[in-house]
A and B are shown apart, each in its own frame.
Chain A
Amino acid sequence: MIALIVVLSAAIIVSFTLPVFAQVQDTAESVGFIEAVKEIPVAIKDGFVDLKDDIYSVLIEDDNYKHITNGLGVTLEITFFALIIGLLLGFAVAIVRSTYDKTGKLKLLNAVCKLYLTVTRGTPVIVQLLIIYYLWLGKMGVSETATAIIAFGLNSGAYVAEIVRSGIMSINNGQFEAGRSLGLSYFRTMIYVILPQAFKNVLPALANEFIVLLKETSVASFIAVKDMMKGANALVGFTYNMNIPYITVALIYLVLVLALQKLVGILERRLRNSEH
């Protein structure tokens, strides 16, 4: 909350002080310094009035804000589904990779997973998005939003995979042996014993990945997805005002990330139950 207030006030100060200084300088040239200083409060007041007018004309008039709020819906939709794809894919890849590391089984699958990780982590997400859209899904008539969900899901899966794998490897092998000694299969031991503990250990790293994912979806506008960023760009296009749309979008992203952090914090506390 404090961070939000700081950024908000910084944004407001920047958008007014520049015109105010310009005005004071003009006044100083014509009527002298003292008079110019006297003009400052008036200039600030004018600045506020201007800002109010700008906000009104850029965001409120003609329901312009809908460009951003509709975009927000799309941004959340892409993030949510990409997150689910990323989690499922990431856990699956992590299980294959650590099974290979621990037992030497699943050699072929492990090679496929490694290739996927190398390609995904070795190229920029924007390039992946464009390739997936123009060379594959776009050609097949898949919608832009669905394409973005798949592209970001595939991308996030690679990072989630390595995070989860590090979590699995961090669990003492004795936990595995205890599970196996009771007659639980390798897979059951993984699901009931190892993964819950691994998940708890990597939750902060996973949260970080989700935050990155949420913000990264802003490049979806490159394939004409009508997300929040696209909405802001549209507003800039027809209002000729750069400040208000971008600052508004920045603030919304910030609020979303803060909300996500809060949720993760609650989950983390709940999972720490077993440690007192």
Chain B
Amino acid sequence: MNTENNTIIKVTGLEKSFKSVEVLKGIDTEIKQGEVVVVIGPSGSGKSTFLRCLNLLEMPTGGSVEFDGVNITDKHVNINKHREKMGMVFQQFHLFDNLTILKNITLAPVKLKRMSKKQAEEKAMELLRRVGLEDKANAYPAQLSGGQKQRVAIVRALAMNPKVMLFDEPTSALDPEMVGEVLDVMKELAREGMTMVVVTHEMGFAREVGTRVVFIDEGIIMEENEPEEFFANPKSPRLKEFLSKVIV
């Protein structure tokens, strides 16, 4: 355990290729407890791939990812055990369409024997109350709006008591008026001290909530800094160009 410096995730020389296409070309970074790391970059830059490599939804083709002191890219590691502690929220929500909201949330904790059914349901209801959706417990995903679905997806990940939360463009598939309700939930999580890695295009969120902003382009980390400095004094020409094109 790397408790002395509080590193939760340590990425070393991370590479990922799809057939002949090299997406990540060697990424090194550390994510410490309580950090909110916001990852930005142009589309196709590899930022989502980077995030998906952290919980091995994509298997890296080179380098290593250490989570909580364990090298999870090692073949002998049971990745399922570690994924329980890394919540993930997807752009397209991916709620289980055949289950009610409550069952969506309790499925993993109950089937993985982390909690009894009753405990899991109590926890789920408590979390749903926090995001203002306790009245939707028995609804099906198809009956919810995009913003509601994404809040449920966050709750579903939180129900496993994760040590870190990974967000893959959580607001990109939402109608503009629903972005706020999801960002609010994420802000509250950050305030409570949750360690988060967020891939997003929401520069306002990066500025307001992020403790560090990482700019990925052409498969490497081009630049990273704390938000104020990052947006005020970009150093690399690519980041300058990128920031000039997005509304900050």
Contact = CB atoms under 8 A, between A and B. Distances in A.
Contacts of A181: 55, 57, 83, 86-88, 90, 157
Interface string B151-188: 00100110010000000000000000000000000000
A276 B203 CA distance: 36
A180 interface: yes
B84 to A, nearest CB: 3
Nearest to A200: B98
Interface residues of A, number: 22
The main secondary structure of chain A at its interface with chain B is helix
A274 interface: yes
Nearest to B166: A181
A275 B144 CA distance: 11
Interface string A265-276: 000000001111
Interface string B72-84: 0000000011111
B80 A183 contact: yes
A192 B83 contact: no
Given A177-B57, A178-B90, A183 B96 contact: no
A183 B140 contact: no
A180 B90 contact: no
B120 to A, nearest CB: 12
Contact of A183 (B84, B94, B142, B143): B84
A275 B111 contact: no
Interface string B82-102: 111111101010111111100
A182 B85 CA distance: 8
Nearest to A173: B94
A70 interface: no
Given A174-B94, A197-B98, A182 B142 contact: no
A247 interface: no
Given A175-B97, A197-B98, A200-B98, A184 B92 contact: no
Given A177-B57, A275-B142, A184 B94 contact: no
8 contacts: A175-B94, A179-B96, A181-B57, A183-B82, A183-B83, A183-B112, A184-B112, A200-B98
Interface of A: 172, 174-175, 177-185, 188, 192-193, 196-197, 200, 273-276
